[in-house]
Amino acid sequence: MLAAVLYDFNRLELEDVPMPHPERASEVVVRVKSCGICATDHKAIRGIRRNVSFPAILGHEPSGIVAEVGHGVTHFKEGDEVIVMPGGYCGFCENCRIGRTHYCEHAYTTGGDGPEDVRPGAFAEYMKVEEHTLFHKPPEISFDAAALTEPLSGAWKGVIQYSEMEVGDDVVVIGVGSIGLLCVMVARAAGAGRLVAIDVSDYALQNALKLGASHAINPTQGDVRKRVYEIMPKGPDLIVEAAGPIEAVRLMVDLRRRGTRWNLFGITTHEKFELDGGHTHFLEGRMDASFGTTPLAMSKAIRLMQRGLVDPEKIISHRFPLTRIHDALAVMDTLEHNKVIINP
């Protein structure tokens, strides 16, 4: 089969590799129909993210069709249309038992990062997964939309489950690339009041306004805190940092008022920011963070799509066949893009 194999930073090669087949009773081979390119994939290929073991087949946002099943698979059969959760878990450790499967002591990932056990991902025509990581794709959801279940589930987990956004909350989303836009869409579906998008890209801000933001602020064009407090005189109830740079985290800290909930979502690099201890104490806000996904979050994301509350296909700006993955990466290098999809 054809796969994009990463041999070193900036050395991604398209080549024929052996087809995967079930080796354990619980394994399933999926023919990949669609896979999103995550910013973490792009950073790994470009050498910005360094925790990569070579060779690697990346890609952890897939949907597809079951091609082959192990003899112990009972809930899926050949021909089923499926969504793949990239994080595998044991189901028996303490974290798994209390529902924190993304903390699993024996976790693995297909094409992503985090656990030490990284298995071949979805920048290929076929991939092998465990049955428990599969979800049936509802027929009304396209393969491209279904491929974005994992990032949509992360947005739901961060905004709703962890930060407990309530109907009418005034929300600020800092960084409205693909994951920030999904946070905007989830917040809008959940009944956000004023919904402010902040980004240095006017292209991204226009997308945010189309997808549910009530206001857009470019921090290069004035005093962000002053503008936010003109829109929200009592300050934001919730701030979501979905940007990544440490400057976005510092901005989030600056925008807080008493009782503000704030979620570190986008930053994954080990950089420092400062807090005034007494000020933070008397603000009595609450900081959360969110990474990865869980079966609960995946199920909630599928329901959001199935009920027509969030359509992640609206954030797709480019589609490429696997044979043009280098063109896709060139688009990822620019500011004028949103979600980029690979269709093997």
**CATH code at 276?**
3.40.50.720
Please give the residue range of the domain that contains residue 162: 152-289
In Å, how far are 32, 85, 130 from 21, measured between CA atoms? 14, 19, 12
**H or E element: which one contains 69?**
strand 62-69
Whether residues 51 and 163 fall in one domain: no
The whole-number average pLDDT for the span 330-335 is 93
Q: What is the pTM of this model?
A: 0.95
Predicted local confidence at residue 27, as pLDDT: 98
- 294: in domain: no
Is residue 299 a part of any domain in this protein? Answer: no
For the domain that residue 87 is a member of, what is the CATH number?
Answer: 3.90.180.10
Within 13 Å, how many C-alpha atoms sit on residue 320's CB side? 18
Q: What is the pLDDT of residue 248?
A: 96
Domain shared by 251 and 279, yes or no = yes
The C-alpha torsion from 190 through 319 and 329 to 312, rounded to 10°, is 10
Domain count along the chain: 2
Closest CA to 32 of 5, 72, 71, 59: 59
pLDDT value at residue 43: 92
C-alpha 113/C-alpha 94 separation (Å) is 22
**Is 185 found in the same domain as 98?**
no
Rounded CA-CA distance 67/31 in Å is 6
Same domain? For 268 and 316 the reply is: no
Confidence at 227, pLDDT banded by 50, 70, 90? very high
Q: Is residue 174, in this structure, part of any structural domain at all?
A: yes
**Is 172 found in the same domain as 113?**
no
Distance separating alpha carbons of residues 232 and 213, to the nearest angstrom: 14
The pLDDT, as a whole number, for residue 269 is 82
129 and 41 fall within a common domain: yes
Confidence of residue 46 (pLDDT cuts 50, 70, 90): very high
Say if 301 falls within a structural domain: no
Confidence of residue 81 (pLDDT cuts 50, 70, 90): very high
Q: State the DSSP string of 156-216.
A: HIIIIIIT---TT--EEEE--SHHHHHHHHHHHHTT-SSEEEE-S-HHHHHHHHHTT-SEE
Average pLDDT over all residues of the chain: 96
Q: Could you tell me the sign of the dihedral formed by the alpha carbons of 67, 55, 143, 265, in that order? A: positive
Residue type, 256: R
Whether residue 171 has pLDDT greater than 90: yes
Question: Is the confidence at residue 336, as pLDDT, over 90?
Answer: no
pLDDT at 188 over 90: yes
For residues 68-78, average pLDDT:
98
**Residue 7 sits in the same domain as residue 79:** yes
Tokens at 53, concatenated? 């073991």
246 and 231 together in one domain: yes
User: Mind listing the pLDDT tens digit for each residue in 124-161?
Assistant: 999 999 999 999 999 999 999 999 999 999 999 999 99
Pick from 111-115, 149-153, 248-252: least confident: 111-115
Nearest to 51 by CA among 261, 270, 200, 309: 270
- Residue written as token pair 């806000």: 285
In a domain, 298, yes or no: no
Classify residue 53 by its DSSP letter: P
237-265 residues labelled b (16+ CB within 10 A) or e (exposed):
bbbbbbbbbeebbebbbebbeeebbbbbb
The verdict on residue 300 lying in a domain is: no
**183 pLDDT higher than 90:** yes
- Asked whether residue 214 falls in the same domain as residue 322, the answer is no
Asked if the structure places residue 76 within a domain, the reply is yes
Confirm whether 295 is domain-assigned.
no
- Both 319 and 191 in one domain: the answer is no
CB 189 within 8 A of CB 181: no
Residues 324 and 279 in one domain: no
Closest CA to 130 of 20, 44, 40, 35: 20
What pLDDT is stored for residue 268 in this prediction?
84
**Residues 129/108, Cβ–Cβ less than 8 Å:** no
Task: Spell out the alpha helix ranges (H) of the chain.
Answer: 39-46, 94-97, 143-146, 149-156, 178-189, 202-210, 224-231, 246-255, 277-283, 295-306, 325-332
- Residue 53 sits in the same domain as residue 182: no
pLDDT bin (cut points 50, 70, 90) of residue 107 is very high
For residue range 191-220, list pLDDT tens digits in order.
999 999 999 999 999 999 999 999 999 999
pLDDT of residue 270: 87
